[in-house]
Chains A and B, each alone.
Chain A
């Protein structure tokens, strides 16, 4: 794990490199840059505020307040406990990346509409924006939402998408695959029949 200064140095070097590139490779490099940070299991706490709105989205348009809301929503889905939570692994940036790059246009539209509905749903339920809610209020919003999870609407589609990609971000994160369920790049063995 890098300490804060090392991390900043690394990022500054990277920014320096990006500055000297042409447009196309800069775009590619910026994407990588975002993922260097999003993929990092432990982003030093000093970096967390600065990593916001770093994501370059090609298809969907998301404001920094939406991004902040998504970060809290992901964190409510997978909170920090004794181990890292969604925010620690920038799961919301992965959600946005996947919606932007790996989702069909019609589903992106549903996502954006559903996000507005989610904001309205939260306001109606609690009188507040999701980011302004405390932990209990956030839990209540999600509990109320999940109670109606079988209804087919944009709101549920949005929530399911956020949840699915948040789970994927978590279960495929470096933290998870090195500490919880260890991924072996080089197993070196195969046994066909061992005790479960």
Chain B
């Protein structure tokens, strides 16, 4: 079946799969990208992108019937009337929650890169050396210096806005100019650096084209227009997504074949060759099974589904899932602790406000346990910080008086707020596995997810509340309120691990090139490959890992090693 044979198969078209596709096609390799969801073509398939607020039947609210039928996805902040069509509904792909877990999914071209929050902070040496220093999980097989050039590589192409802040915990990158913080964010930033050693408030680096360069214009993208409606898909290509950037780039080479509605059932392993030969695919609609073949397979199905595909890829050589000699597949699954928030008000700068819409907010990198262990919990947390001038409308009474009140918008104090992004410790007891009795619509075993917080996470929430309350209070903020949502893991949408990288095949799945220790032509470069979670948003790291692994795979192909 020559039509079904390629140089490379990439499973998944999301943020990391898009990068693998770009790297391979650019270098002339015939690449097949398999996407389980429907096609979403840049510009053409953004049905709500230019809608005005009054054009939404329910003014962007999700109807009660949909909420009742979809309790999980309805918890996601971006699941609103304008972007609901980009999220997987609960009943479209069920899974078993051995413990509560909110699995937020986007099955379509581009995956979640269409609706992501676009924050792109580099991980640092402190993150990669974390497990070794603090004695948890296993040592990362790479260090910051291994990934730094690849961060630069992806940043230049994706377009990341930011300032050079000179912080060890949050290395600088190849930045487009940043927007400016607002007065209160600036004030808080100054206040924190003056009053706290080792604490800094910077403006979050994010994947927006503030000043597009030639490489971005060549992709057909234009300057970010500060619409802040990114989750609908951007008609300017102002933010990075697979749809607007890597996939059209790959398509232009003529080397890309993209198949939508292709649910990957398993990776085919050939015992004689001791390598994977291809992929078995179930058509999402007809349920017909097809096989595709390639020399190299990149698995980028997003963290949980990459675990599922490996667990379901069984053979007599690998009865417990492809590459799973160690038995760690599915285990040491982790996420980010997003439970805690704090809010307050500030009465300074009442003569100032903001104009237009910012696409990012301020960011407080990790300051706990950075140089050495200093608290009763391991690791630490980063924090988002933002300030917005509150507006209020007087809605008392009725009639002409009410109407004249509504026409006026009064400015109130500044609202300030922060949310916690905590590192969680990967543990063997947090794992995903297959339910061998229940099958999904594509005859795949259902996933069982058993992931939970632990005492370390609770301590971190407490510390975040204490530290932020102190900083807020000293900065002169008032009406300070802390909350712990106790939200289930998963709603952070930063699920990671299960196919972790490591030095030792006995305790890890992937080597330092994201290559399965036991099946060298299969690479896994999405969230499932993470050994630990850091505190930073992980997508940029997935992109860098994918580009780096693709480069390595091509070198190995040239040498005839794969």
Decide: A35 near B406, CB < 8 A? Known: A188-B225, A192-B180. no
A196: B residues at CB distance < 8 A = 350-353, 389, 411
B61 and A102 contacting across the interface, CB-CB below 8 Å: yes
Tell me whether B455 is interfacial, beta carbon within 8 Å. Answer: no
Q: Of the candidates A83, A101, A146, A195, which one forms a contact with B351 in the assembled complex, judged by CB atoms under 8 Å apart?
A: A195
The reply on B284 being an interface residue by CB < 8 A is no
Q: Which parts of A80-102 form the interface with B (CB within 8 Å)?
A: 81, 83, 85, 97-98, 101-102
**Interface check B371, CB cutoff 8 A:** no
- Interface residue? B183 (CB, 8 A): yes
Q: State whether the Cβ of B474 lies closer than 8 Å to any Cβ in chain A.
A: no
In the docked arrangement, what's the CA distance between A78 and B391, Å?
Answer: 21
Chain-B contact segment, one of A11-19, A43-51, A179-187? A179-187
CB contact list, A5-33 vs B, under 8 A: 31-32
Q: Are B406 and A171 touching (Cβ within 8 A)?
A: yes
Interchain CA distance A123-B211 in the complex, whole Å: 65
**Which of B28-36, B48-56, B553-561 has 4 or more CB atoms under 8 Å from chain A?**
B48-56
One of B53, B402, B403, B407 near A177 (C-beta < 8 A): B53
User: Which secondary structure dominates chain B's binding surface?
Assistant: loop
Please state if B57 and A31 are interface contacts (CB–CB under 8 Å). yes
A78-B186 Cα distance, complex, nearest whole Å: 41
Q: Which residue of the partner chain B has the closest CB to A103? A: B64
Q: How many A residues face the partner with a CB closer than 8 A?
A: 48
Query: Is the CB–CB distance between B355 and A191 below 8 Å?
Result: yes
Could you tell me the distance between the alpha carbons of A98 and B61 in the complex, rounded to whole angstroms? 9
| A130 to B240 alpha-carbon distance, docked (Å) | 55
Query: B183 touching A185 by the CB < 8 A rule?
Result: no
Q: B350–A167 contact, CB under 8 A?
A: no
Complex contact B52–A190 (CB within 8 A): no
Complex contacts, B182 vs chain A, CB 8 Å: 192-193
Interface-facing stretch out of B136-144, B392-400, B429-437, B481-489: B392-400
Residues of A within 8 A of B357 (CB): 187, 190
Contact A183 to B52, CB < 8 A, known contacts A77-B398, A163-B398, A192-B183: yes
Given contact pairs A173-B54, A192-B185, enumerate 12 new A-B contacts (beta carbons under 8 Å). A76-B398, A77-B402, A174-B54, A177-B54, A185-B52, A185-B229, A187-B225, A187-B357, A189-B226, A190-B180, A193-B182, A193-B349
Chain B residues packing against A (C-beta within 8 Å): 50, 52-55, 57-59, 61-65, 179-183, 185-186, 225-227, 229, 349-359, 389, 393, 395, 397-400, 402-403, 406-407, 409, 411
Q: List 13 A-B contacts (CB under 8 A).
A: A58-B65, A81-B403, A98-B61, A101-B58, A167-B406, A172-B54, A184-B356, A185-B227, A187-B225, A188-B356, A193-B182, A193-B183, A196-B350
3 closest Cβ pairs, A-B complex: A192-B182, A190-B356, A189-B356
